[in-house]
Protein backbone atom coordinates (compact mmCIF):
# COMPACT_ATOMS: atom_id res chain seq x y z
CA UNK A 1 0.00 0.00 0.00
CA UNK A 2 1.26 3.46 -0.90
CA UNK A 3 1.15 6.11 1.77
CA UNK A 4 -1.69 8.59 1.34
CA UNK A 5 -3.68 11.15 3.27
CA UNK A 6 -7.23 10.98 4.54
CA UNK A 7 -9.28 13.85 5.85
CA UNK A 8 -11.47 13.55 8.89
CA UNK A 9 -14.31 15.98 8.22
CA UNK A 10 -17.09 17.35 10.39
CA UNK A 11 -20.47 19.00 9.90
CA UNK A 12 -21.92 20.99 12.79
CA UNK A 13 -24.91 22.58 11.06
CA UNK A 14 -28.52 21.66 11.35
CA UNK A 15 -30.85 19.98 8.91
CA UNK A 16 -30.44 20.95 5.29
CA UNK A 17 -33.02 21.99 2.73
CA UNK A 18 -35.41 19.10 2.42
CA UNK A 19 -34.95 16.67 -0.39
CA UNK A 20 -37.61 14.16 -1.11
CA UNK A 21 -35.52 11.03 -1.55
CA UNK A 22 -37.25 7.79 -0.69
CA UNK A 23 -34.54 5.63 0.78
CA UNK A 24 -34.94 1.95 1.52
CA UNK A 25 -33.16 0.05 4.26
CA UNK A 26 -30.57 -2.37 2.85
CA UNK A 27 -32.12 -5.67 1.83
CA UNK A 28 -30.15 -8.89 1.23
CA UNK A 29 -31.79 -9.36 -2.17
CA UNK A 30 -29.82 -6.35 -3.45
CA UNK A 31 -26.44 -7.55 -2.15
CA UNK A 32 -24.97 -8.73 -5.48
CA UNK A 33 -25.88 -5.41 -7.13
CA UNK A 34 -24.58 -3.46 -4.11
CA UNK A 35 -21.30 -5.41 -4.16
CA UNK A 36 -20.78 -4.65 -7.86
CA UNK A 37 -21.58 -0.92 -7.54
CA UNK A 38 -19.52 -0.50 -4.35
CA UNK A 39 -16.50 -2.23 -5.84
CA UNK A 40 -16.77 -0.20 -9.07
CA UNK A 41 -16.95 3.05 -7.11
CA UNK A 42 -13.83 2.40 -5.05
CA UNK A 43 -11.75 0.27 -7.45
CA UNK A 44 -9.77 3.09 -9.12
CA UNK A 45 -8.87 4.66 -5.79
CA UNK A 46 -7.96 1.38 -4.12
CA UNK A 47 -5.81 0.39 -7.12
CA UNK A 48 -4.06 3.80 -7.34
CA UNK A 49 -3.32 3.72 -3.61
CA UNK A 50 -2.46 0.00 -3.71
CA UNK A 51 -5.09 -0.87 -1.11
CA UNK A 52 -5.76 -4.58 -1.48
CA UNK A 53 -8.06 -6.20 -2.15
CA UNK A 54 -8.98 -3.78 -4.94
CA UNK A 55 -12.53 -5.15 -4.87
CA UNK A 56 -13.37 -4.97 -1.18
CA UNK A 57 -16.71 -6.77 -1.00
CA UNK A 58 -16.94 -10.42 -1.99
CA UNK A 59 -19.37 -11.92 0.53
CA UNK A 60 -22.59 -10.67 2.11
CA UNK A 61 -21.30 -11.68 5.54
CA UNK A 62 -18.93 -8.68 5.34
CA UNK A 63 -22.04 -6.52 5.81
CA UNK A 64 -23.55 -8.43 8.74
CA UNK A 65 -22.75 -5.77 11.34
CA UNK A 66 -23.37 -2.82 8.97
CA UNK A 67 -26.42 -3.52 6.83
CA UNK A 68 -28.99 -2.25 9.34
CA UNK A 69 -27.45 1.23 8.86
CA UNK A 70 -27.15 1.17 5.06
CA UNK A 71 -29.82 2.88 2.96
CA UNK A 72 -30.47 2.48 -0.75
CA UNK A 73 -31.82 4.89 -3.36
CA UNK A 74 -33.56 2.86 -6.04
CA UNK A 75 -34.81 3.32 -9.59
CA UNK A 76 -37.18 0.39 -9.90
CA UNK A 77 -34.98 -2.61 -9.17
CA UNK A 78 -31.70 -0.75 -9.83
CA UNK A 79 -29.59 0.82 -7.11
CA UNK A 80 -28.89 4.48 -7.93
CA UNK A 81 -26.80 4.97 -4.82
CA UNK A 82 -26.33 4.17 -1.20
CA UNK A 83 -25.13 5.69 2.06
CA UNK A 84 -24.32 4.31 5.48
CA UNK A 85 -25.28 6.24 8.62
CA UNK A 86 -23.52 4.82 11.68
CA UNK A 87 -24.53 6.93 14.64
CA UNK A 88 -23.26 10.40 13.71
CA UNK A 89 -20.90 9.09 11.02
CA UNK A 90 -21.55 8.98 7.28
CA UNK A 91 -19.67 6.27 5.40
CA UNK A 92 -19.62 4.53 2.04
CA UNK A 93 -21.61 7.09 0.09
CA UNK A 94 -21.70 5.60 -3.41
CA UNK A 95 -23.44 6.42 -6.67
CA UNK A 96 -23.87 3.85 -9.42
CA UNK A 97 -21.57 4.90 -12.30
CA UNK A 98 -24.59 4.91 -14.64
CA UNK A 99 -26.16 7.69 -12.52
CA UNK A 100 -23.09 9.79 -11.68
CA UNK A 101 -23.01 13.43 -12.70
CA UNK A 102 -26.71 13.99 -11.97
CA UNK A 103 -26.49 15.36 -8.42
CA UNK A 104 -27.26 12.10 -6.64
CA UNK A 105 -24.10 12.29 -4.50
CA UNK A 106 -25.19 15.61 -3.00
CA UNK A 107 -28.78 14.40 -2.57
CA UNK A 108 -27.58 11.28 -0.74
CA UNK A 109 -25.26 13.36 1.45
CA UNK A 110 -28.04 15.79 2.37
CA UNK A 111 -30.41 12.90 3.06
CA UNK A 112 -27.80 11.35 5.39
CA UNK A 113 -27.29 14.66 7.24
CA UNK A 114 -31.04 15.07 7.74
CA UNK A 115 -31.42 11.42 8.78
CA UNK A 116 -28.70 11.78 11.43
CA UNK A 117 -30.15 15.10 12.60
CA UNK A 118 -33.39 13.25 13.40
CA UNK A 119 -31.70 11.79 16.50
CA UNK A 120 -28.62 13.87 17.37
CA UNK A 121 -27.20 17.37 17.18
CA UNK A 122 -23.63 16.22 17.75
CA UNK A 123 -21.11 16.83 14.94
CA UNK A 124 -21.55 14.57 11.91
CA UNK A 125 -18.28 13.03 10.78
CA UNK A 126 -16.94 11.32 7.70
CA UNK A 127 -13.54 10.29 6.41
CA UNK A 128 -12.41 10.71 2.82
CA UNK A 129 -9.14 9.98 1.02
CA UNK A 130 -7.41 13.10 -0.28
CA UNK A 131 -7.11 11.18 -3.58
CA UNK A 132 -10.89 11.45 -4.01
CA UNK A 133 -10.98 15.18 -4.78
CA UNK A 134 -14.46 14.98 -6.27
CA UNK A 135 -15.82 13.79 -2.92
CA UNK A 136 -13.69 16.27 -0.93
CA UNK A 137 -15.16 19.14 -2.98
CA UNK A 138 -18.71 17.84 -2.53
CA UNK A 139 -18.28 17.62 1.23
CA UNK A 140 -16.67 21.04 1.65
CA UNK A 141 -19.30 22.72 -0.56
CA UNK A 142 -21.94 21.05 1.62
CA UNK A 143 -20.68 22.50 4.90
CA UNK A 144 -18.18 19.87 6.05
CA UNK A 145 -14.87 21.13 7.40
CA UNK A 146 -11.56 19.27 7.45
CA UNK A 147 -10.66 18.72 11.10
CA UNK A 148 -7.63 16.44 10.68
CA UNK A 149 -5.35 15.20 7.94
CA UNK A 150 -3.95 11.76 8.66
CA UNK A 151 -1.22 9.87 6.88
CA UNK A 152 -2.06 6.26 6.11
Query: Model-level pTM?
Result: 0.96
The DSSP annotation for 27-61 comes to: -GGGHHHHHHHHHHHHHHHHHHTT-SSSS----GG
pLDDT-based confidence at 19, cuts 50/70/90?
A: confident
Q: What is the rounded CA–CA span in Å between residue 93 and residue 38? A: 9
Please state whether beta strands 145-151 and 5-11 pair in parallel, antiparallel, or not at all (unpaired): antiparallel
24-72 pLDDT, tens digit each: 999 999 999 999 999 999 999 999 999 999 999 999 999 999 999 999 9
Domains and CATH numbers, the chain: 5-151 (3.40.630.30)
Amino acid sequence: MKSFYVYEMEYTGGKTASNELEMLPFCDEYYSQYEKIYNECFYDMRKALEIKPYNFYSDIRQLDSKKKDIFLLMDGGTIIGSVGCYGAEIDDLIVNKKYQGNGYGKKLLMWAVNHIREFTSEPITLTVAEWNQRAVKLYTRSGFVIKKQLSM
